[in-house]
Amino acid sequence: MKKIYVCLCFIFVFFTSAQATTEQSSTAPEIQDRVYKKLQVFSRILQYIESNYIEDVKIESLLDDAMKGLTSGLDPHTAYLPPEYYREMKVDTSGHFDGVGIEIGVSESRDFVVITPTKGGPAEQAGVEMGDKILSVAGQSTKDLNLVELVKLIRGKKGSEVKMILQHANEDKPYEVKKKKKTIKIKSVQFEKLEHDLGYIQIKSFQEKTDREVRKAFLQLDKKENLKGLVLDLRNNPGGLLSQAQLVSDLFLESGVIVSTKGKNGAFVETLHAKKEGTLRFVPIIVLINGGTASAAEIVAGALQDHKRAVLLGTPSFGKGSVQTIIDLEDGSGLKLTVARYYTPKGRAIQAVGDFPDVYVSNRAIAVESENEARALREKDLKGRLKTLSESGKEREQSGKENDANAKNDLQLERALEYLRTWDIFRKPFSSHLKKKVS
């Protein structure tokens, strides 16, 4: 216990010195006294457990649980990651992992839910849908698990089997999924040349080199500089690297702010700008978004929308407008810590609100009824999510009217292509008038 006491004393000195610089209303001695009393209680609890608990326990495990507890009351994207979980997490931006292919979140009611299944993965093939509640995994109730423990159960060695009990959001009866884990390879970018000299680029996640893949795809589609329009598909894109969101946005913007981030007490952390060098040839762009469009994908959509470089079509995005940093700790563990909120070029906060489409179309590209889209989990539904702050620091109203333009039977991609095919038809009759007005 002597080692633990020394450790607690160090925490006490570090924490109180940090707090004294941020709490203006209290004096340093008052802060130190409050923290010291709490750490005294914590130390006594550890002593009681070690000396009197009916079974042998590892103090290290108790301390691990205590550190998990430090972050459990914060926002859903902040977490302490023990070494074994931290190693698992490092595969998130590598483009492949072994599992069944689902993105998981925590709802406001503290249930684990599917944010989006990976297209073509075992989970999607078994009928798992966006918004499904995860009741148990490998015989363990999810009520007894935290997020990193749940992810570890679902991921694992290729070929091993996992059994999950889930429940569709609009049904009372649970259903069982029993699938073998396989290597989920997430190819970041896919593209296709369509009729009428139109192009389609889908970004599934923002991994290392995503910007290079998007550039390569565009140049391939525009090989003869005859591309007349582009659909950029960001649906069900959970995000990824902030740096890649900046670089992808920069491909289509010549200048101006791409995204700005504000940290503790509203201080600007960073403002990222576009540059003219390397900008791709101008073509009309329609960006597809839905409830699974999150984080880095929302940065791209918001930047192109604010600069009027693209039209957003689909349904409101997920609304994850916070930035996390990963801190390596001495014992191989890690801390994923929310350090800032991000804002679009016009200062719009995305947190718990999302990007709103210019053209609202409820159907997704895959054949899913519109009611599934309506029940999709979004950031505002997550337990402990950050408040939505405007750039001035005040809490922002969640607004945005959903005007379903009788798109009940129309898929979003088809609607986007219709608009691009008629782009020139509507533009040409007014082009001479627009030129006169400018002159």
Q: Which residues are catalytic?
A: 295, 306, 320
385 closest CA partner among 17, 106, 139: 106
Between CA 382 and CA 190 the distance in angstroms is 30
Residues 6+ positions from 235 with CB-CB distance below 8 Å: 288, 289, 290, 292, 293, 314, 364, 365, 412
Rounded to whole angstroms, the Cα distance separating 133 from 114 reads 7
Strands (E), 59-107: 79-81, 96-99, 102-106
In 3D space, the residue among 257, 256, 253, 304 whose CA is nearest the CA of residue 277 turns out to be 253
Rounded distance, CA 299 to CA 316, Å? 13
- CA distances to 101, 195, 358 from 363, rounded to whole Å, are 23, 22, 15
Rg (CA), the chain: 24
